[in-house]
Chains A and B, each alone.
Chain A
Amino acid sequence: MSDGLDRFLAASPQPQRSGLRLLIMLARRPRGAMLLKCLPLAEEAAGATLALGRYDDPAIATRLGWDAEAVVARGRRLRRTEGRP
């Protein structure tokens, strides 16, 4: 699991946090994934959380035209050169 996703899950309030971790664990295992198919809402929650982590991967995001590092670097440059807060 990526650091970002781990922090996202850690910030979640209980009992959601434990629930999400359990759903993600299930979604990553073939038999667990089969089980989740019978629980559409749970499958959706696990799928959305995993997608958040997967597409946050810089390698994947950059292929899709999003370069977070470049956005941040431009922000820093503008704040320095223009004296923004």
Chain B
Amino acid sequence: MSEHLLSTRGLGRDAAVALLDIAEDMADTQQRQVKKLPTLRGTTVVNLFFEDSTRTRISFEAAAKRLSADVITFSAKGSSVSKGESLQDTAQTLQAMGADGIVIRHQASGAAEVLASSGWTRAGIVNAGDGTHEHPTQALLDAFTIRKRLHGAASRGRDLDGVAVVIVGDVLHSRVARSNVWLLTALGAAVRLVGPPTLLPGAVGGWPVTAGIDLDEAIDAGPDVVMMLRVQRERMTEAFFPSAREYAALYGLSSARAARLPERSLVMHPGPMNRGLEIAGEVADSPRSTVLEQVENGIAVRMAVLYDVLAGRRGAA
């Protein structure tokens, strides 16, 4: 159905629902006696990670292995070659080695797109996070998790029409937030971004969302989902907020704030969490938290994405 998965921007409602439905079927296979599927036998998937990410890499690796693909992990971090050349050389090397699919994480926004359109490789490209641009599989697993919590076994075929989602924190540096904005709104959800003015991107006005700086106001509106973003210390080269303590006080999801949410409200976090900073440990471990479900669902969603991009005839979609 798709040649590549580079972003959630432009992914339509029906295509997104179809992908989530395949993920449902993949999740079901993981309840079987034999969890391994023969589907991608003979297919080679390269995990090309220019940036550290143990969780995402392991999740993709597990997904590819459950589908019987051969997995090669290429950790390109620390390469001294300048970025553009390095990406080209690496891609051409992987093409020569016979990679059918490349899962790429890169610190530069647009790296996955470059790889897909460069002609350096014919492999199917899956974006596992590029700079501050997108992280589409994270958004898909978030949408999957919300849908599953709301509709359970009756999730197939449904979108997220009317679901109120608040995304809180460092939106400026967050590819997770960007991918979620496009995907969740395509699925019919109403998205509100909340964060300190210094961490909300200037372009928010052009996105199909509302934005604000007051977390308490957003909590008291009784959202269905509160998605906390990780404070990305490693991406911050200047002071975006005065202190961690002030950030936690204004934008952290404390137990007191969580207690004001309606019973049905979910709390999500893409991990890894800074407990006590953007989310209180007690909230992260509470029944409304989906943190571990997100990790579990991530494998099924990535199986669906790898299947979608790699199982069919290349060049036929």
Asked if chains A and B come from one complex, the reply is no
Q: Residues of B with Cβ closer than 8 Å to A?
A: none
